[in-house]
A and B are shown apart, each in its own frame.
Chain A
């Protein structure tokens, strides 16, 4: 079964850090670019970041540039999102996804809440 499972979401104070993980199974993880997408409460989907299949060329939305870092470990079939200097507006459900017409897979999301 093709699957993505996010973890690492938590309640964190403003200015804090968190690392999200996304475990892939059932497909050749190392062949696909991977993305993080988030959805704040009551709001729409927002693209956050992307990384090539070989771990190169990360790209970020302006809203997280300089604070978030995307990475992957193809040997562990795992995608990561290191989030630093968190703000209240980063509160959201974070999804990892392939966003690929050949194999479009999304996880169920992990919740990040930034609040004091």
Chain B
């Protein structure tokens, strides 16, 4: 149950697009289309931004999109805004009927 690998930090200017990667194995990310992405502002409850690799829950901005290729999932934030500054975590269902989170990525809006 090793954590999925994410870059520690990603930054961008307002209006730009950024992409966060999430690398796992064939036993988690690569084996299932059950990848989630959460936005987490410190001190608050995490908010689901993407589910099942590329689907957005109701109410989530269409500036957020997800994809997957092999063992790596990605979250893209388009038209970066100040309010997007937060920690982002991917998560995947695993072959042992458990779940695993990514190491987390701090997004900074310059």
Q: Residues of B within 8 Å of A, CB-based: how many?
A: 26
Q: Is B86 an interface residue (CB 8 A)?
A: no
Are B52 and A101 in contact, with the CB atoms below 8 A? yes
Residues of B within 8 A of A50 (CB): 98-99
Are A45 and B104 in contact, with the CB atoms below 8 A? yes
Q: Is A14 an interface residue (CB 8 A)?
A: no
Q: Is B64 an interface residue (CB 8 A)?
A: no
Cβ contacts A52-89/B at 8 Å (1 or 0 each): 00000101111100000000000000000000000000
Residues of A within 8 A of B100 (CB): 47
Query: Which positions 28-58 of chain B face chain A at CB distance < 8 Å?
Result: 36, 38, 40, 44-48, 51-52, 55, 57
Q: Is A99 an interface residue (CB 8 A)?
A: yes
Nearest B-chain residue to A57, judged by Cβ = B97
Assembled-state Cα–Cα distance A37/B55 (Å)? 22
Q: Is A95 an interface residue (CB 8 A)?
A: yes
Assembled-state Cα–Cα distance A107/B46 (Å)? 9
Assembled-state Cα–Cα distance A106/B46 (Å)? 7
Are B99 and A47 in contact, with the CB atoms below 8 A? yes
Assembled-state Cα–Cα distance A108/B5 (Å)? 25
Are A47 and B48 in contact, with the CB atoms below 8 A? no
Residues of A within 8 A of B57 (CB): 101, 104
Are A44 and B3 in contact, with the CB atoms below 8 A? yes
- Minimum Cβ distance to chain A for residue B54 (Å): 12
Are B48 and A101 in contact, with the CB atoms below 8 A? yes
Residues of A within 8 A of B3 (CB): 44, 46
Q: Is B76 an interface residue (CB 8 A)?
A: no
Q: A residues within 8 Å of B by Cβ? A: 35, 37, 44-47, 50, 57, 59-63, 95, 97, 99, 101, 104, 106-109
Can you sample 22 A-B contacts with CB below 8 Å?
Answer: A37-B101, A44-B89, A44-B101, A45-B40, A45-B89, A45-B91, A46-B3, A46-B101, A59-B96, A59-B98, A61-B98, A95-B46, A97-B46, A99-B91, A101-B36, A101-B51, A101-B55, A101-B57, A104-B47, A106-B46, A107-B45, A108-B45
